[in-house]
Amino acid sequence: MSRAPSLRTRVAVAAALGTTVVVLLVGALASVLLSRDQHDQLDRRLSTVAEVLDPGSSAPRGWAVTVRGPDGTVTGLRGPELPPAATGYATVDVGSRTYRVLTTASGSAVLSVAAPTAATRAAVGQLRRVVLGVGAAAVALAGALGWLFAGRAVRPLHRLAAAARAVGDGGTGAPERLEAGGARETEALATEINHMLARLHEAQERTRAALETAREFAATAQHELRTPLTALRTDLEVLGLEPDEQERRQVVADLLRSQARVQDTLTALGQLASGELGGGSGRTDVDVTELLHRVAEQARRTAPGVAVDVLDGPPVLVPGWPAGLRLAVDNLVLNAVRHGPATRVLLAVTREGSRVSVTVDDDGAGVPVGEREAVFARFARAEGTTGPGSGLGLALVAQQAALHGGSARLEQGVWGGVRAVLEVAG
């Protein structure tokens, strides 16, 4: 496949073609004007000679003179006989020569004076050749200057291409910003390339993060599920030995606990992966006050011995993902009920400027101050925590808080337990 001509070549050819068009137009106009000027000069000479020439006098050498009487008969002749013509100027061919003729009345006679046009045509031809030569030189000069100046004009594009190659060979880090001045179009092109590189880098980073997260999830799931799956295998082997009724019931209870742990771990891992690997679609305005009431109603059904209430307040709208916010608040309430263990839980939402805070207070055992930050890590559980769990509940809360432009933290509760704070951008 042949390579396209360079921009420099295109500019040079365009300059040459443009100059060619101009030269042709100017040359054509100059040729017409020069031809007219030469004929005008010849006509003036004819007029001057006719005014001073008597019918019997001699004309300049090479000229022709024909004098006719009133009846049209030739009464005087020098050179070839000129054909009869109306008064004024005319161009006629006599024999093999072309003449410029002026016919005028001289008394009762009609005088025709003719000058050969060969010298005039030669002069006009010479001037045309000069114009064509100058035009050809102008075209060649325009092409050379176009090539020279185009080289300077496209130099910023060469620098931009070199910078882009350097960025492409620069590895996986953030691309350096391309700087290419010299022309407004080059600067605009550099700006667009920088935007494109930034978007490509963001997409590359998201892909890399997604792959890293997938590998981490796979390794974590393998590690966390190994223990309950081993326990399941052991219990199944015991059942194969046909134990007595009491041992069988104990083994079945162990199997159910292991199955619940596996299920909880897989569910939490799936939710965590969904938050990190999922796209940003589905964002909408969420009424947090209404969401808290739905969470409280669900919690009262699943934990009938726990008083779950919502502090009354006006609707509070935040932009976000309803499922993600619901998941975060559900986990805060579940954490208080399951690991507290709490008997009272109070949900509230407040707005301060552009920040919205959801608080979950409980009367449980609380979390030591030194562990309040660490428990948001994956598979981390506070010391002395009771009840089953995968250790991913608060990690899900922290993840959703980050996705919504905020953060999550634990504070000292008003009832002696823990106050969990979920802060998001409002």
- Supply the DSSP string of 333-344, one letter for each residue: HHHHHHHS--SE
59 — pLDDT class (breaks 50, 70, 90): low
Q: What is the DSSP string of 342-411?
A: -SEEEEEEEEETTEEEEEEEE-S----GGGTTGGGSTT---TT--S---S-HHHHHHHHHHHTT-EEEEE
Q: Which residue has the higher pLDDT, 217 or 138?
A: 138
Q: Name, of 77-81, 225-229, 241-245, 304-308, the range with top average pLDDT.
A: 304-308
In the chain, the amino acid numbered 209 is A
| Residue 317 CB-density burial (10 A; 0-12 exposed, 13-18 middle, 19+ buried) | middle
Q: What's the farthest any 2 CA atoms get from each other in the chain?
A: 162
Residues β-bridged to residue 198: none
In the chain, the amino acid numbered 147 is W
Q: What letter would DSSP give residue 243? A: -
Query: Does residue 59 contact residue 49 with C-beta atoms inside 8 Å?
Result: yes
For 72-82, what is the mean pLDDT? Answer: 80
Instruction: Supply the Cα-derived Rg of the chain in whole angstroms.
Output: 51
For 57-71, what is the mean pLDDT? Answer: 74
Q: Which residue has the higher pLDDT, 281 or 117?
A: 117
308 — pLDDT class (breaks 50, 70, 90): very high
Rounded to an integer, what distance in angstroms lies between the CA atom of residue 25 and that of residue 44? Answer: 28
Asked if the domains at 7-151 and 284-425 fall in one CATH topology, the answer is no
Q: What is the DSSP string of 133-170?
A: HHHHHHHHHHHHHHHHHHHHHSHHHHHHHHHHHHHHTS
Rounded to an integer, what distance in angstroms lies between the CA atom of residue 381 and that of residue 388? Answer: 11
Residues β-bridged to residue 65: 78, 113
Percent of the chain with pLDDT over 90: 14
Closest CA relative to residue 103, chosen from 90, 117, 120 = 90
Is the pTM of the predicted complex or chain greater than 0.75?
no
Task: Tell me the two tokens of residue 234.
Answer: 């052991």
Task: Tell me the two tokens of residue 81.
Answer: 């006989």
317 — pLDDT class (breaks 50, 70, 90): very high
7-151 CATH pick, 2.40.50, 3.30.450, 2.60.40, 3.30.310 = 3.30.450
Task: Tell me the two tokens of residue 56.
Answer: 């019997």
CB proximity list for 41: less than 8 A, separation 6 or greater: 120
pLDDT tops 50 at residue 214: yes
Task: Tell me the two tokens of residue 88.
Answer: 């004024």
Q: What is the pLDDT of residue 391?
A: 65
Query: Does residue 292 contact residue 329 with C-beta atoms inside 8 Å?
Result: yes
Q: What is the pLDDT of residue 357?
A: 95
Residue ranges per structural domain of the chain: 7-151, 171-279, 284-425
pLDDT tops 80 at residue 191: no
For 349-375, what is the mean pLDDT? Answer: 89
Q: What is the pLDDT of residue 422?
A: 94
Q: What share of the chain is helix, strand, coil (3-state, %, to 5)?
A: 55, 20, 25
pLDDT tops 90 at residue 408: yes
Task: Name the 3-class secondary structure at 291.
Answer: helix
Q: What is the pLDDT of residue 277?
A: 44
Q: Quickly name the fold that domain 284-425 has.
A: Heat Shock Protein 90 (3.30.565)
411 — pLDDT class (breaks 50, 70, 90): very high
Rounded to an integer, what distance in angstroms lies between the CA atom of residue 112 and that of residue 81? Answer: 9
The sign one gets for the Cα dihedral 299, 304, 309, 315 is positive
What is the distance, to the nearest Å, from the Cα of residue 422 to the centroid of all Cα atoms in its chain?
37
